[in-house]
Amino acid sequence: MPTTQTISASEFKAKCLNILDRLASHELDRVVITKRGQAVAVLTPPDHQADAVRNIHGFMRGSVIIADDVDLTEPVLDEPLDAELGILHR
C-alpha cells in the first residue's frame, strides 16, 4: 500500500539510494524531507511512461469547440500568398 514518509535531511542523506528505490517501485508515493522540523522538499515517483505521454500529447483534448458553420478547409485569404507569386521577401 503506497504511503507518505517524512524524514529529516540528514536521514535522507544516509538512506538516499534506498528511498529512491522505494519510490521507483511505488512502495512509497511521497517522501517529505524536513530540516529543523520544516518541510524543505517533496519527492514523488515519475508518472508511468504511458501516462506521461498521454498527459503531454492531447492535454487540451475536448477544450476547443468549433462552431457548426465554420469550415476549416476553406481558404482564409482572398488574395494569393506571396510564395504563390514567387515573392520571397518584402
Separation in Å, CA 61 to CA 22, 32, 37, 53, 56: 34, 33, 42, 13, 11
pLDDT digits (tens, 9 = 90+) for 17-74: 999 999 988 889 999 999 999 999 999 988 777 777 777 777 777 888 888 998 888 8
15 pLDDT above the threshold of 90: yes
The answer to whether the pTM exceeds 0.85 is no
| Helix H or strand E encompassing 22 | helix 9-24
47 vs 7: which has the higher pLDDT: 7
- Kindly state the DSSP code that residue 31 receives in the 8-state scheme: E
Domains defined along the chain, listed by start: 1-60 (3.40.1620.10)
